[in-house]
Amino acid sequence: MKKLRITKNIIQGRPGYELNIIDKKASIQDLLDELNLFIEEGNLERCWPAGQNNCYGCDLCCHEPLPLTLIDVKNICQIKGISLIDAFKYLWVETQDNVIDITLRRSRGGRCIFLQSDSTCSIYENRPFLCQTYICCHTTPQMEELRSQVVNMGMDELIRASIQEFSLVGRSLPLNRSHNARVDIKDWSRNQFTDKYNYSQILIKNVLTSDLFKHMVL
């Protein structure tokens, strides 16, 4: 039995999709699996460039800043066989005061560093959460908010875990761009991403606000 349901719907007058939760024990990985299947099978009106009729080789969404979660970075570590500290060569860290953002590093041309010369992704099967949940068509405000809440919590733990990891070797979190930086691990608490290694271990209901979760449950 499926734990989530994705259906075609009219969103703001345009063809799009809606996601609902069937099983309250659905994990974030269940969401990703269902959405990836829907992307492969769904016949939705899309925003592909002229001449493009599928996702393969389409890099429309590969030129924007991409916020990351701890699981996203752990996946990169596993693919590359590197530590969390070494993974920062693939990351970009910006801070203003005590606000920190960690995104995937981009080339000088603004392309994702994992985008290959043929415009395909070298880590496609393990691409970050926001990549997997992006479909270039309309969706509901609830789905957009779900994406935001997952990434916000996941990045909070990425920041906390990274500060801790660097401190263990006597180093500070590397900052690529900063203004009045105030980096203190006490500003980030442990959360549902703490000590997790994949999205199967994280239930959607434990990440979303109760109001949003109730709204999305069938």
pLDDT of residue 43: 63
Q: Which residues contact 152 (CB under 8 A, 6 or more apart)?
A: none
Q: For residue 160, give both structure tokens.
A: 């906390």
Q: Report the DSSP beta bridge partners of residue 95.
A: 100, 178
pLDDT tens-digit map of 161-201: 999 999 999 999 999 999 999 999 999 999 999 999 999 99
Q: Is 178 helix (H, G, I), strand (E, B) or coil?
A: strand
pLDDT tens-digit map of 26-54: 999 999 999 988 888 866 666 666 666 66
Does residue 109 surpass a pLDDT of 90?
no
- Report the C-alpha gap between 60 and 186 in whole angstroms: 38
Segment 122-126 long-range contacts (CB within 8 Å, at least 24 positions apart) = 123/75, 123/76, 123/79, 126/75, 126/76, 126/78, 126/79
Q: What is the mean pLDDT of the chain?
A: 93
List the chain domain ranges.
Answer: 4-50+58-216
Q: Which residues contact 56 (CB under 8 A, 6 or more apart)?
A: 120
Confidence of residue 63 (pLDDT cuts 50, 70, 90): confident
**pTM for the full predicted model:** 0.93
Side chain identity at 171, as an amino acid letter? R
